[in-house]
């Protein structure tokens, strides 16, 4: 990073991001977190190099930004954080909705702390360092060779874990959805419609399967 780029980052982009996000502009750790999230993302040309820096030193600083594509990636992130670039990613929004509103309620049936369980998956399946600690930090962009994105891989893993927990508990997919109060996509619900969301919302009693089936017109949220 040359002198002009450093001035642009520290005198313009970083203060603007802090003002928009209501951060302390003197919080160096926060800035290092952003560097780590951007430069260790899947598809980053020097991802392994920066991962090694974090492992050995604990952070990435502005002095480590020597390649133009790394500098551009960090500048782009700071502009987004400053509200100068709209953060519109329909695919990411959709996948996050699935995790929060479809998968998490099911997971909560079988584990006491679903959020901690999902964080554990992040640590197992992804190299989680400072700045990459929640599902929002995962990229929704396809990886090289058109492989699924980080976020999609997380969804696949979480879905597999839930299926294993459900089977061990003895639930069918339909029973799990009824208990979690999420939309069921089993063959019967797909054919006849699903009423158990309305029934469970108004009663805590068990509902016979045949009483749950009726036509519905409620659309998917996306």
Closest CA to 75 of 46, 35, 41: 35
* 3-state SS class at 143: strand
Report the pLDDT value the prediction gives residue 133, as an integer from 0 to 100.
55
| Residues 32 and 50: beta-carbon distance below 8 Å | no
Report the pLDDT value the prediction gives residue 2, as an integer from 0 to 100.
86
Q: Answer whether residue 36 shows pLDDT above 50.
A: yes
For 136-154, what is each residue's pLDDT tens digit?
Answer: 777 777 777 778 888 888 9
Report the pLDDT value the prediction gives residue 110, as an integer from 0 to 100.
96
For 91-115, what is each residue's pLDDT tens digit?
Answer: 888 888 899 889 999 999 999 999 8
* DSSP structure class, residue 168: H
Q: What average pLDDT does the structure give for the chain?
A: 78
Q: Answer whether residue 127 shows pLDDT above 70.
A: no
């Amino acid at each position: 990073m040359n002198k002009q780029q450093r001035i642009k980052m520290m005198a313009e982009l970083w203060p603007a991001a802090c003002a928009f996000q209501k951060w302390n502009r003197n919080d160096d750790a926060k800035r290092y977190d952003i560097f780590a999230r951007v430069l260790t993302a899947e598809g980053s040309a020097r991802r392994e190099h920066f991962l090694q820096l974090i492992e050995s030193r604990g952070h990435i600083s502005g002095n480590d930004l020597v390649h133009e594509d790394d500098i551009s990636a960090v500048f782009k992130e700071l502009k987004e954080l400053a509200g100068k670039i709209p953060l519109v990613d329909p695919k990411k929004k959709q996948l996050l909705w699935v995790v929060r509103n479809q998968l998490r309620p099911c997971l909560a049936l079988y584990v006491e702390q679903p959020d901690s369980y999902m964080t554990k998956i992040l640590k197992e399946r992804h190299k989680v360092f400072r700045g990459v600690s929640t599902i929002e930090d995962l990229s929704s962009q396809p990886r090289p060779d058109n492989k699924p994105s980080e976020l999609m891989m997380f969804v696949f893993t979480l879905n597999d874990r839930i299926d294993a927990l459900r089977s061990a508990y003895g639930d069918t997919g339909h029973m799990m959805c009824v208990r979690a109060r999420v939309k069921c996509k089993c063959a019967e619900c797909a054919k006849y419609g699903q009423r158990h969301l309305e029934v469970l919302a108004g009663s805590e009693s068990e509902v016979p399967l045949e009483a749950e089936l009726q036509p519905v017109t409620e659309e998917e949220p996306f």
